[in-house]
Amino acid sequence: MTDVHWLTAGEIGSAYVARRLSPVELTQSLLNRISVLDPQLNAFIRVDVEAALNAARDAEKDIVAGRARGPLHGVPVGIKDIIDVAGLPTTCHSKILLDNIAAEDAAVISRLRAAGVILLGKLSLHEFATGGPSFDLPFPPARNPWNIAHHPGGSSSGSGAALAAGLVPLALGTDTGGSVRNPAAACGIVGLKPTYGLVSRRGVFPLAFTLDHIGPMARCVGDAALLLDAIAGHDARDPGSVPVSCSRFGADLERGARGLRIGFVRHFHETDLPADPEVAAALDDVFRVFTQEGAEVRTITLPPLRELSAVQRLIMQAESWAIHASWLRERPGDYARATRRKLMIGAFHSAADYVHAQQHRLQMIAAVDDAFRDADVLLTANAMDPACRIDDEDALARTYPRQARSPFNLTGHPAIALMCGLTRTGLPLSAQLVGRAHDEVTLLRAAAAYERASGWHRQRPPI
């Protein structure tokens, strides 16, 4: 079997069952690929070779003995280094936490171990899941496999880069203002931010308590659904966790788009924050594909993007300042410049500012809920621009806020990023679909229908 590094998790499971591939062969192959490519990409902070191979051998024995635990048994996964894995450092890509050894697994890691996955290592990120690509940190920033001079998006940069480069078939990211969906956009992969509270945050270093989500990242929608199946579920030790029953999230992946009502939020990228022409054209093409597939696409209006984003930003700034205030007072020089600047913003907000933002939030959640009276799924822009060069500070500062992701951290609705084109210069473009709260099944159905009809997920970077 050739090119095992491009197999999806679903294909890997089938290959194991058919004895065409073994967990040890796959893990060794990925470790070899990582050793060759990662020195250029910097996707990994730590590759856990020995533990990965041990887990692969255990999985192989179990599968051969007929004790397969499920579809992800023996499938390698990369973990953003803000998520605790017992016995390993959780550095958050920061000097501040270089020696922070996790005492126990995060809830999502416990669930992944129960599913039998192989943990390949810890993936790089923007420091503390904020900041930006920084060159003044203990680890270099991840690079975009489509063009290593370009930014891979963030903050789950390593997760996006590792998936796009075929270093892992699955990865976990976290998303407070779009940090799963931004690297998904820049790297041409799938990134899912589930409904707030569906996936436990326990054991994940917080950026902003009321906005933080943990999400699956993959190279196709079906794999994102499988990973969500494994990590979702109520956790009494996470106060934000919601006690809902979790069905099989990929139950409707094959149903197609016929009969779905898609609400196209055009004003986000047409008037609120006018998108790059290539992005706008790609979104029009998503509209065309859904129409062709039998969906009923109508225009939907939400509150202005500028206001949604500002409310999310103020809450994020206030909550992240509360978390980092003590370190910023005592060790400001141990942060990267970009992180320091972002985390100090909240120091200049008042208590009333925070409460006012939370008042607006309640109204904005209601506005998005109301939009679902006329639509089953919303279609919006993701990033308004293709990924810029990683060393262009001005372009990063200009393009980073030009996005439509953060509104759905504010409202908690599930949202998925999907590749929807390539620029003339060969960089990925991405669209975002948004679902009703706790209706990931319909969201994934729409995403899978688009993916199947468009075929963009089969594109690979020239690395």
From candidates 340, 438, 452, 457, binder to another protein by CB under 8 A: 340
Contact pattern for another protein over residues 305 through 324, marking x by CB under 8 A = -xx-xxx-xx--x-------
Q: In the complex, what is the shortest distance from the CB of residue 391 to another protein, in angstroms, rounded to a whole number?
A: 20
Size of the site for another protein (CB under 8 A): 38
Q: Interface with another protein includes 405 (CB under 8 A)?
A: no
Nearest CB to another protein, comparing residues 399 and 442: 399
Q: Which of 102/322 has CB closer to another protein? A: 322
**Nearer Cβ to another protein, position 86 or 244?**
244
Residue 405 near residue 273 (C-beta atoms within 8 A): no
Least Cβ distance, residue 142 to another protein (angstroms): 24
CA dihedral 355, 361, 362, 364 (to 10 degrees): 150
**Sheet strands side by side (includes 296-299):** 44-47, 118-123, 76-80, 170-175, 213-218, 190-193, 415-422, 428-435, 377-381, 261-264, 296-299
Q: Does 394 bind another protein (CB under 8 A)?
A: no
Region binding another protein by CB under 8 A among candidate stretches 155-163, 336-344, 426-434, 452-460? 336-344
The reply on whether position 325 binds another protein by CB under 8 A is yes
Task: Tell me whether residue 296 or residue 307 sits nearer to another protein (CB atom).
Answer: 307
Applying the rule CB under 8 A, the residues between 341 and 380 that interact with another protein are 341-342, 344-350, 353, 355-363, 365
- Of 179, 200, 241, 454, the catalytic one is 179
* 80 catalytic residue (yes or no): yes
Catalytic site includes residue 155: yes
- Closer residue to another protein in complex, CB, 230/328: 328
Rg (CA), the chain: 20
Is residue 337 at the binding interface for another protein, with CB under 8 A as the rule? yes
**Stretch of 43-51, 56-64, 220-228, 339-347 contacting another protein, by CB under 8 A:** 339-347
Q: Distance (Å, rounded) from C-alpha 126 to C-alpha 139? A: 10
Q: Does 244 bind another protein (CB under 8 A)?
A: no
- Binding segment for another protein among 70-78, 83-91, 140-148, 326-334 (CB under 8 A)? 326-334
User: Is-contact 200 213, C-beta < 8 A?
Assistant: no
Quote the least distance from Cβ 304 to another protein, whole Å: 8
Contact pattern from residue 192 through residue 231 relative to another protein, giving x for each residue in contact according to CB under 8 A and a dash for the rest: ------------------x---------------------
Angle at 226 between CA 422 and CA 40, to 5 degrees: 45
Distance CA 217, CA 157 (A): 11
Q: Name the one range near another protein by CB under 8 A: 153-161, 214-222, 332-340, 425-433.
A: 332-340
Which position among 155, 157, 159, 454 bears the catalytic label? 155
Contacting positions for another protein (CB under 8 A):
210, 303, 306-307, 309-311, 313-314, 317, 325, 328-330, 332-333, 337, 340-342, 344-350, 353, 355-363, 365
* Catalytic residue positions, numbered: 80, 155, 179
